[in-house]
Amino acid sequence: MPANHLAGAEPPGPDTALIVVDVQVGFLPGGSLPVPRGDEVVPVINALARRYANVVLTQDWHAPEHLSFASAHPGRAPFETIDLPYGPQVLWPDHCVMGTADAAFAPGLDIPHAQAILRKGYRREVDSYSAFLEADRITRTGLDGYLASRGIRAVHVCGLATDFCVAWTALDARRYGLAAAVIEDACRGIDLGGSVAKAWAEMAAAGVRRISAAQVG
Ligand code: VGL
Ligand code: ZN
């Protein structure tokens, strides 16, 4: 029996894209900024992605000495928050430096039909959790135009981490007028001070649907 016998199953149509967020070595156990149980999403996403004609991968891709790294701020430690010109910024361990092994996709990630890879966070002065808008909330990555020009009207978001890059991407999808859903069992969170619960609340308020992989027909 096909998976779409499930009540509420919604086979993704040609106007829907799966956005696979930051499934990279650096965010897996053993990486520079490990997301607890982040490795568990890899087989889930591999199977999920086969149901979508349109798949976009994102890659956290930081300049060396990026200003989101605690190491760029003497006296500061990872997971503290500081004020940068564009607003509050959580400081992270050095992670996903462009071109390094840590920034590579998870070795088990197997989505040969993905059509676009969107790199973000490459400007030293500005972070970018979202795949649509950098942290200054002004600079666009171009993903909104790419999706619009391909006739995409809805996105399903999965990957790492639920409370940062996944949530910001889903929230900005709504900002650009796209329907958006987050596939909960295809995500894992970092969870700093309740940030996972806060992210789900913000997403619900913005009209982001919370679904499971089994609901995708
Ligand atoms: C991420 C923190 C820093 C993410 C990226 O992919 O969620 N989180 N850079
Ligand atoms: Zn990052």
158-197: per-residue pLDDT in tens?
999 999 999 999 999 999 999 999 999 999 999 999 999 9
Establish if 87 belongs to a structural domain: no
Cα three-residue angle 43-3-204, rounded to 5 degrees: 75
pLDDT at residue 217 in the model: 76
Residue 150: give its domain's CATH number. 3.40.50.850
Q: Single out the residue of 149, 148, 136, 150 nearest to residue 177, CA to CA.
A: 148
Q: What is the arithmetic mean of pLDDT over 20-26?
A: 98
User: Is this structure's pTM higher than 0.85?
Assistant: yes
Q: Does any ligand 1 atom lie closer than 6 A to the CB of residue 154?
A: no
pLDDT at residue 1 in the model: 45
Of 41, 71, 129, 192, the one to substitute when testing ligand 1's pocket (max ligand atoms within 8 A of C-beta) is 129
Establish if 76 belongs to a structural domain: no
pLDDT at residue 105 in the model: 98
Q: How many domains does the chain have?
A: 1
Q: Which residue has the tokens 């990486």?
A: 31
Closest C-alpha residue for ligand 1 atom 2 = 164
Establish if 27 belongs to a structural domain: yes
- What is the distance in A from the centroid of ligand 1 to the CA of 97? 12
Confidence of residue 4 (pLDDT cuts 50, 70, 90): very low
Note whether 155 and 20 are within 8 A (CB).
Answer: no
* pLDDT per residue as tens digits for the range 40-93: 999 999 999 999 999 999 999 999 999 999 999 999 999 999 999 999 999 999
Establish if 194 belongs to a structural domain: yes
DSSP state of 34: P
Q: Single out the residue of 123, 120, 112 nearest to residue 168, CA to CA.
A: 120
Establish if 14 belongs to a structural domain: yes
Establish if 84 belongs to a structural domain: no
Establish if 82 belongs to a structural domain: no
Q: Is the pLDDT of residue 7 over 90?
A: no
Q: Name the residue range of residue 207's domain.
A: 3-62+97-215
Establish if 157 belongs to a structural domain: yes
Q: What is the arithmetic mean of pLDDT over 87-112?
A: 98
